Amino acid sequence: MLAAGDLPHLSTMLERGGRNRAITVFPSTTSVAYLPFLTGCTPGRCNIPSIRWLDRRSYGGRWWRDRESVRSYCGYQAPRLDGDIAPEVPTIFELEPESIGIFTPIARGLTPDRDPSRRERQFWGSLAHFALWHQPSDDAVSRHLLRAVDAGWKFVFAQFPAVDGYTHQTTPDAEPVRRALRKVDATVGAVRQRLRRRGELEQTLILVVSDHGATVVRAHLDLATWFRRRGIPTLSHPVTWERSPRAAVMVAGNGSAMIYARPGEPRESRWPVERLRQADAFGSGGDVVEALLREPAVALAAGESVDGGVWVGNARGSARLFPSANGVTYQPIDGDPLVVGGARTATMRGWLEATWDGPYPDAVFHLLDQFRAGRTGDLVVVAREGHDFRERFEVPEHKAGHGSLIRAHMQTPVWASEAVPAVPLRTVDLFPAMLDWLGLDVPDGIDGERVWLPRSRPRFSIPRKRAYASA
Ligand SMILES: [Zn+2]
């Protein structure tokens, strides 16, 4: 659309600014994938491994008393996200008191006056879900955003949900999606015009980003149904109770899912893949992991290994990821599921640089990150392009989706009013960039690295032409 001249205001912004792509987090889905922008941390570090999860340590199978140990941010539990984020992780709203969030799924640190659209978000959000009507949400965001610009807030974060909403109901390039994008473009134009009038355009960093990509879904494999067909009582949303469940299935996006074995029996640690493959793990009489990998919808599965690190497999073989002296090693066992080409050791940055444009961009970093979170399931299942994992209770049906580790879901645009370095980025790296622009210190212990400091620029001084060429 940019190339076709369909986004004139963004095009004007990019004449002086720059663009690149950044790798989002896994699972590549809304709520979770906003953590990088607003905390500089990954889902694993935040202990928010997905939009739905189960606390294996506390869940004991009781319908009412244990309902708090099962989470879905897609319904009435959405406001629980702020309190679920690991307490030591600060949000940008806590670091910058002169900040405001509009339609933000993460609001920790915001006082009610700094979260002015909270009620509208809930109202339009629930209506859009049933009425297939997302533009009123974006129109409300535009109104609040322009008001915030006029009020002179130092940092403004605004989420435009319509592009994602229309994408799920149609296709990523359908007319309703394009119309919503043109309206976002018009809002950017209005923001820039107001800033110019006040003489503040040049001092303002505008970042237009996305938390994930999307692709067309041609076939649904309802994973919860898949387990039940094997005689395995399975817990899954929206009915989060099952007598003596032997599996819990938590789907995200809907291109990935976390599987918990024996969720009604509280335990401290995850079962390794070797244990999950035993016939009694799910009580199905067979190797559930192998059966999953034979499904055409499944690209990858991953779990912890008894040998340490993370085991990852597909239908043709498996490999193991583990920290080693010079970074992280990918060691094929009897296959190359991440399509790396053989054994390899690299730093986390090295893995990003080597794989950011591959079939599973930066997957080494993101799979290890998933298993940092205590709340992550025993097994993580990743869908192949064109497939997703939810059918029965997805109303309306998802005709396009995300949530997987594939390139089209993981690569996201970074369009900025300042030059962007032509180096591979993660969305977590935009957090230090924003703090730098705001003149704030970057806190220790976050996952975002100082690869782009748009104000002080000490690390990469890249000629502007190269930055333009980056996308
Ligand atoms: Zn979505």
For the chain, how many helices (H) and strands (E)?
17, 21
Residue 128 has pLDDT above 80, yes or no: no
* Residue 198 CA, ligand 1 centroid: distance in Å: 36
Q: Which of 215, 159, 235, 181 is nearest to 403 (CA)?
A: 215
H/E stretch holding 252 = strand 247-252
pLDDT at 131: 66
Q: Which of 400, 401, 427 is nearest to 416 (CA)?
A: 427
Residues 97-121 as b/e (b if ≥16 CB within 10 A, e otherwise) read: eebbbbbbbbbbbbeeebbbbbebb
Write down the pTM of the prediction.
0.93
* Residue 164 CA, ligand 1 centroid: distance in Å: 5
pLDDT at 126: 65
pLDDT at 91: 98
* Residue 435 CA, ligand 1 centroid: distance in Å: 27
* Residue 238 CA, ligand 1 centroid: distance in Å: 17
Q: What is the pLDDT of residues 294-323, one digit of tens each?
A: 999 999 999 999 999 999 999 999 999 999
Residue 148 one-letter amino acid: A
Q: How far is CA 443 from the centre of its chain?
A: 22
State percent of the chain over pLDDT 90: 83
* Residue 168 CA, ligand 1 centroid: distance in Å: 6
Contact 137, 121 (CB under 8 A): yes
* Residue 161 CA, ligand 1 centroid: distance in Å: 9
Q: Which of 439, 407, 468 is nearest to 22 (CA)?
A: 407
Mean pLDDT across the stretch 257-266?
Answer: 95
Query: What confidence category does residue 117 fall into, taking pLDDT thresholds of 50, 70 and 90?
Result: confident
pLDDT at 467: 36
DSSP H stretches of helix in 132-174: 135-151, 162-169
Q: Which residues surround ligand 1, an ion (CB under 5 A)?
A: 164
Query: What confidence category does residue 393 fall into, taking pLDDT thresholds of 50, 70 and 90?
Result: low
Alpha-carbon distance values, 126 to 60, 119, 416 (Å): 31, 11, 31
Q: What is the pLDDT of residues 35-93, one digit of tens each?
A: 999 999 999 999 999 999 999 998 887 777 778 888 988 888 888 999 999 999 999 99
